[in-house]
């Protein structure tokens, strides 16, 4: 009477489970024949093909997105109630909480696989889905620009100029763009210090040197770490495709974070609009979508030659889909 599945196959499919744990403007980059359009002046070099218009930021599909899961579960009762620590006693795990992480490397829109141990889901009705994922997200990305782009090691030193740019692992950024000591290291305000996590040149082959660059998501409050609230800065994520989401910052498997400085993971819970009914014949397919999951940010200053300065690429939300078939 139990369901077993050794591999979660990641493909695009029917929406069941969505992550949207950080807020970014929805501005898809204009890319023509594989080339990022940066021709709109050094202050606002990029253009959104939707409704955001010309600006200093746009979003695109990353070359590779890295996300580490601690847990992914179905629950019969709400595991994340306001005013108390999370309670997973009614949850059944698809990815079990062991202290180690299960890494998903999502390459563009290509199909990939996430290998996990066998799991069992007893037949029944499940009204909640929950995931705990690392607060440190990785992006490996390259682009060709239509104009020369500056990259910088600091506000005085150039790190390269050219039309080909790639990520380097030289700075840890944070979603609040503040200098914060975290379990992963100290995040830096890349904007104030003009440190780019990209390097640029005129040699296309240099893009083969791309490395993962990492960003820490350790606060929900729009005001940043100074606005960190109760219950791990617990905040409604609003309506998603299949219910109402809630996000909470955690410092370990069972304890909420008390500040940005001890946040190591994000708890993401969805109260499902329609319960998932599991029977002896139920099968599962988990999928990830990374459309607009990399934010390409310029600092709107440029240089004397009129070239835009690339500030950083950051990790936007992904969407995860669980297809359940009976």
**DSSP SS3 for 9:** strand
Pair of tokens at residue 125 = 């009705």
Give the strand pairing for 142-152 and 35-36: parallel
The answer to whether the beta carbons of residues 311 and 262 sit under 8 Å apart is no
Which is more confidently placed, 188 or 183? Answer: 183
Rounded CA separation 55/57 (Å): 6
pLDDT at position 11, please? 31
The average pLDDT across 255-266 equals: 96
DSSP string, 43-105: SS-EEBSSSS-EESEEEE--SEEEEEEEEEEEESS-S--TTS----TTEEEEE--SSS-EEEE
User: In 3-state terms, what secondary structure has residue 262?
Assistant: helix
Q: Which of 122, 312, 77 is nearest to 199 (CA)?
A: 312
Cα–Cα distance for residue pair 210/208, rounded to 1 Å: 6
Q: What is the pLDDT of residues 188-246, one digit of tens each?
A: 877 667 788 999 999 999 999 999 999 999 998 888 899 999 999 999 877 777 788 89
CB within 8 Å of 107: residues ≥ 6 apart? 63, 64
**DSSP codes joined into one string, 118-149:** --EE-SEEEEEEEEEEESEEEEE-EEEEEEEE
SS3 203: coil
Q: How far is CA 202 from each of CA 39, 189, 306, rounded to the nearest angstrom?
A: 17, 27, 16
For residue 192, what is the DSSP state? Answer: H
Contact in structure between 189 and 178 (CB atoms under 8 Å):
yes
Q: Which residues pair with 58 in a beta bridge?
A: 296
pLDDT at 22 over 50: no
Task: Name the pTM for this structure.
Answer: 0.84
Closest Cα partner for 127 from 235, 269, 319? Answer: 269
- Do residues 168 and 213 make contact, with C-beta atoms less than 8 angstroms apart? yes
pLDDT digits (tens, 9 = 90+) for 93-142: 988 888 888 888 888 765 555 666 677 788 899 999 899 999 999 999 99
């Amino acid at each position: 009477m139990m369901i077993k599945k050794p591999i979660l196959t990641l493909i695009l499919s029917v929406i069941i489970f969505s992550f949207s744990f950080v807020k970014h403007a929805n501005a898809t980059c204009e890319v023509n024949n594989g080339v990022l359009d940066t021709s709109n002046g050094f202050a606002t070099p990029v253009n959104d093909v939707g409704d955001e218009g010309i600006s200093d930021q746009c979003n695109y599909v990353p070359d590779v997105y890295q996300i580490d899961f601690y847990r992914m579960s179905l629950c019969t009762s709400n595991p994340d109630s306001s005013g108390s620590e999370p309670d997973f006693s009614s949850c059944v795990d698809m990815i079990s909480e062991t202290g180690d992480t299960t890494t998903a490397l999502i390459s563009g829109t290509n199909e990939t696989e996430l290998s996990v141990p066998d799991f069992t889901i007893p037949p029944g009705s499940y009204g909640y889905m929950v995931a705990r994922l690392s607060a440190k997200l990785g992006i490996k990305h390259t682009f060709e620009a239509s104009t020369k782009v500056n990259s910088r090691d600091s506000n005085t030193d150039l790190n390269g100029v050219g039309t080909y740019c790639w990520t380097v692992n030289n700075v840890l950024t944070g979603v609040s763009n503040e200098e914060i000591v975290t379990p992963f290291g100290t995040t830096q305000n890349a904007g104030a210090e003009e440190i780019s996590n990209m390097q640029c040149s005129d040699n296309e082959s240099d893009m083969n040197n791309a490395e993962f660059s990492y960003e820490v998501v350790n606060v929900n409050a729009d005001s940043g770490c100074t606005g960190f609230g109760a219950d791990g800065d617990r905040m409604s994520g609003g309506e998603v495709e299949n219910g109402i989401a809630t996000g909470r910052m955690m410092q370990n498997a069972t304890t909420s974070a008390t500040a940005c400085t001890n946040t190591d993971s994000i708890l993401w819970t969805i109260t499902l609009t329609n319960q998932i009914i599991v029977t002896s014949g139920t099968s599962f397919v988990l999928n990830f979508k990374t459309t607009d999951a990399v934010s390409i940010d310029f600092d709107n200053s440029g240089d004397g030659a009129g070239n835009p300065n690339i500030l950083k690429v950051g990790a936007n939300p992904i969407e995860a889909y669980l297809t359940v078939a009976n």
